[in-house]
Amino acid sequence: MHIRIPYSPRRQQREIHEALDKHRFAVLLCHRRFGKSYLSLHHLIRHAFRNPLPHPRYAYIAPTFKQGKSIAFDYLIQFTKNIPGVKVNASELKVDLPNGARITILSGEVGESIRGNYFDFCVIDEAADMEEKVFTSIILPALADRKGGCLILGTPKGTNNFFYNIYKKACVDPAWYVKVYKVSETKILDEEELKQLRDTMSEDEYRQELECDFSAAISGSVYGRQMERMEDDGRITKVPYDPGFKINTAWDLGIGDATSIIFYYTSGRATYICDYYETADEGLPHFAKILKKKADEMGYYYGDHMAPHDIEQRDFSNGVSRRETAYELGIRFRVAPKLSLEDGLHAASMRMNTVWIDREKCERLIDALRHYHRKYNPALKVLGKPTHDWSSHAADAFRTMSIAMDQGIGERKAPQQIADNNYNPLQTALGVM
**More confident of the two residues 303 and 377:** 303
DSSP three-state, residue 259: strand
Asked, for residue 95, whether it belongs to a domain, the answer is yes
Residues 192 and 248 in one domain: no
Q: What is the CATH number of the domain that holds 26?
A: 3.40.50.300
Calpha distance 384→377 (Å, rounded) = 7
- Confidence band (pLDDT; 50, 70, 90) for 265? very high
Which residues, 6+ apart, have CB-to-CB distance to 116 below 8 Å?
Answer: none
Residues 105 and 69 in one domain: yes
Q: Does residue 11 have a pLDDT over 50?
A: yes
Query: What would you measure as the largest C-alpha separation in the chain, in angstroms?
Result: 87
Cα–Cα distance list, 258 to 188, 212, 253, 308, 341 (Å): 46, 31, 7, 14, 20
pLDDT at 215: 86
pLDDT at 416: 41
Residues 294 and 157 in one domain: no
Asked, for residue 231, whether it belongs to a domain, the answer is no
pLDDT at 310: 83
Residues 154 and 289 in one domain: no
Instruction: Print the domain residue range for 266.
Output: 236-429
- Confidence band (pLDDT; 50, 70, 90) for 298? very high
pLDDT at 9: 86
- The conformation of residue 240, written as its DSSP 8-state character, comes to P
Is 154 in contact with 163 (CB distance < 8 Å)? yes
pLDDT at 3: 66
Give me the mean pLDDT over the 406-421 stretch. 55
Element (DSSP H or E) covering residue 357: strand 355-358
pLDDT tens digits for range 35-90:
999 999 999 999 999 999 999 999 999 999 999 998 899 999 999 988 999 999 99
Residues 283 and 349 in one domain: yes
Chain centre distance of CA 313? 37
Asked, for residue 195, whether it belongs to a domain, the answer is yes
Residues 296 and 190 in one domain: no
Domain count, the chain: 2
Residues 130 and 189 in one domain: yes
Q: Does residue 417 have a pLDDT over 60?
A: no
Cα–Cα distance list, 285 to 230, 322, 325, 334 (Å): 35, 11, 9, 18
Q: Does residue 420 have a pLDDT over 60?
A: no
pLDDT at 6: 73
Across the chain, mean pLDDT equals 89
Q: Does residue 375 have a pLDDT over 80?
A: yes
Asked, for residue 228, whether it belongs to a domain, the answer is no
Residues 207 and 256 in one domain: no
**More confident of the two residues 56 and 219:** 56
The candidate with the shortest Cα–Cα distance to 261, out of 399, 389, 394, 407, is: 394
Q: Does residue 313 have a pLDDT over 90?
A: no
Residues 163 and 300 in one domain: no
Residues 180 and 250 in one domain: no
Q: What is the CATH number of the domain that holds 363?
A: 3.30.420.280
Q: Does residue 220 have a pLDDT over 90?
A: no
DSSP three-state, residue 56: coil
pLDDT at 424: 56
Is 249 in contact with 261 (CB distance < 8 Å)? yes
